[in-house]
Amino acid sequence: MDYKKQIAQSIVKALDDKLEEQAVYEKIEVPKTVNLGDYAFPIFILAKTLHKAPQMIAKDLVDQINQTNYEKVEAAGPYVNFFLDKNTFSDEVLQTVLTQNSHYGDATVGNNGKVPIDMSSPNIAKPISMGHLRSTVIGNSLANLLTKTGYQPVKINHLGDWGTQFGKLIEAYKLWGSEEEVKADPINKLLEYYVRFHKEDKDHPELDDEARKWFKKLEDGDDEAIQLWQWFRSVSLQSFKRIYDKLGITFDSYKGEAFYNDKMDEVVQILEDKKLLKESQGAEIVDLDKYNLNPALIKKTDGATLYITRDLAAAIYRKRTYDFVQSLYVVGAEQINHFKQLKAVLKEMGFDWSDDIHHIPFGLITLNGKKLSTRSGRVVLLDKVLDDAIDLAKQQIQSKNPDLKNADQVAHEVGVGAVIFHDLKNERMNSFDFDLNEVVRFEGETGPYVQYTRARAESILRKADHKVTVADLKLSDPNAWETLKFLQAFPETVLRAVREYEPSIIAKYALHLAKSFNQYYANSKVLVKDDQLNSRLALVQSVSIVLEIALNLLGVQAPSEM
Ligand code: ARG
């Protein structure tokens, strides 16, 4: 139900159609405090045409408005304030939530359009970082939001599985590696060899020549080189998948950089045909001066193709494969320029769909205020973060609810959910600090707090032992008003989150809804057996439904007991 529309119609009618409904609709505001009503209409747009004091116009307008649909309509200075009728409103909202259930907030704006999402995309033989975690959970939540609003997302893990570093890695492995070691602890061992290579090549520059030779062999399809590369790739992927499993996140495609090896010639060909390639110090570039960007480096002096060349091939491949309506890249803000270049080159190539490409950047995670990086040694190993979070959740559950059945499962959902929620409640572009103890708290602005509130709603319903009937759900209790209004705002909140590619809108919404519900529960007696019992339980159930949908949109589970 669009109450703003209803109000706009009331106003237009009272004014004998002197104003357009759309113009009125756009002016209607939501007042900052509840004592000013649920909606307010500023009189200023009328003052010019009516040549009367705004206060007078407001008073006259109130007299003209048919007030049967409202609790009251009041003039307050140059505003007309509308107070919705609580009984009608609650009845409508609660019926809608209960009948639509998990589909509440579904939309069709996506028209089944396909939306590839480039997300996570870690590099083979290196640990997955907190930055990759952000990309993974933001991308996953965007995929959920897109599904809910009628799009078809395609989650693509664009693995960093090609490049000269594999020549170095092969050389290092041949010198110092052992199969057993790698099998036992793939990522750490491969990283160790790689780091050792960089240490030793300072004094032994011949190592670099060997590495170059190996990479050349890899490019030429040499058996041994290919086998080693495939092995590194598959053991790395196995350990990445352990983390994705813990997070409960899956992908539709693992086509990484290597997949585009045979697809770059075409890109270079198109660039040549369109006379876009220029030589500069032996390298091939596309000049992007008119976009105010640095030139895009398409081919290096030695003929090797670069990161952006693969991304050009990937973008074209995705357009052909999915005929996407949008193509998203959830990648850290440090690559903003790269994606600007990517779009600009595609545009120059004559692909007008380059406008449908959107880089979704995000800020850094810091640890005690410091940037995390492999070099500084401040790598936080994601696997460990998740396990620690699960342990912390388990401790709290044991002290709060020692008899809980399937406590391990719940601890997993709470611990992992806490890490995901903490990441998503921050606006994407904001950097934030990671402190595990903060993250897993059951109070405050945390995932466990929302989960706990939802589990509490479920426990109230269990205790009540009353089957909610979906009829006559009038609820006049002013304590319930804020919660009802949040429930009603959920569908528009989902749409806003998709439009802005901003999961934090959903996380903040869930926190607000949970908080308002806890206030309601603290101030009103829900379980007394009077004639509004059914309506109150309908509210409790609606809150449970909407909190579960919101958590799931973020990729967080909602245990019904904890
Ligand atoms: N592997 C890259 C990194 O870790 C991210 C790749 C992002 N996706 C892309 N299509 N460029 O920095």
Do 527 and 466 touch, CB atoms closer than 8 A?
A: no
Domains of the chain, residue spans: 3-84, 163-229
pLDDT in tens, 209-222: 999 999 999 999 99
CA–centroid distance, residue 292 to ligand 1 (Å): 23
CA–centroid distance, residue 171 to ligand 1 (Å): 24
Residue whose Cα lies nearest atom 11 of ligand 1: it is 311
Residue whose Cα lies nearest atom 4 of ligand 1: it is 122
CA–centroid distance, residue 135 to ligand 1 (Å): 10
* Contact 331 CB / ligand 1 (< 6 Å): yes
462: which residues sit within 8 A by CB, 6+ positions away?
Answer: none
* Contact 327 CB / ligand 1 (< 6 Å): no
The CATH number of 3-84 is 3.30.1360.70
Which atom from ligand 1 is nearest to the alpha carbon of 331? 7
pLDDT band at 376 (very low <50, low <70, confident <90, very high): very low
Checking if the pLDDT of 126 tops 70, the result is: yes
Checking if the pLDDT of 378 tops 60, the result is: no
* Contact 453 CB / ligand 1 (< 6 Å): no
pLDDT in tens, 291-327: 999 999 998 876 666 899 999 999 999 999 999 999 9
Closest CA to 411 of 390, 431, 425: 390
Residue whose Cα lies nearest atom 12 of ligand 1: it is 122
Under DSSP, is residue 428 helix (H, G, I), strand (E, B) or coil? coil
CA–centroid distance, residue 307 to ligand 1 (Å): 9
**pTM check: above 0.90:** yes
Return the best residue to mutate from 126, 159, 330, 331 for the ligand 1 pocket (most ligand atoms within 8 A of CB): 331
In percent, how much of the chain has pLDDT > 70?
97
Number of helices (H), then strands (E), belonging to the chain: the values are: 21, 13
* Contact 118 CB / ligand 1 (< 6 Å): yes
Torsion of CA 244, 249, 253, 254, to 10 degrees: -10
Q: Give me the helices (H) in 149-205, please.
A: 165-176, 179-184, 186-200
Between helices 481-499 and 130-148, what is the axis angle to 10°?
A: 110
Mean pLDDT of 32-38: 90
Q: Which pLDDT does position 265 carry in this prediction?
A: 93
Give the pairing type, strands 277-280 and 283-286. Answer: antiparallel
Residue whose Cα lies nearest atom 3 of ligand 1: it is 122
Q: Which run of H or of E encompasses 541?
A: helix 533-554
* Contact 311 CB / ligand 1 (< 6 Å): yes
Calpha distance 324→340 (Å, rounded): 19
CA–centroid distance, residue 396 to ligand 1 (Å): 37
Q: Give me the helices (H) in 205-335, please.
A: 206-219, 223-247, 264-273, 307-322
CA–centroid distance, residue 487 to ligand 1 (Å): 38
pLDDT in tens, 329-352: 999 999 999 999 999 999 999 999
Amino acid at 24: V
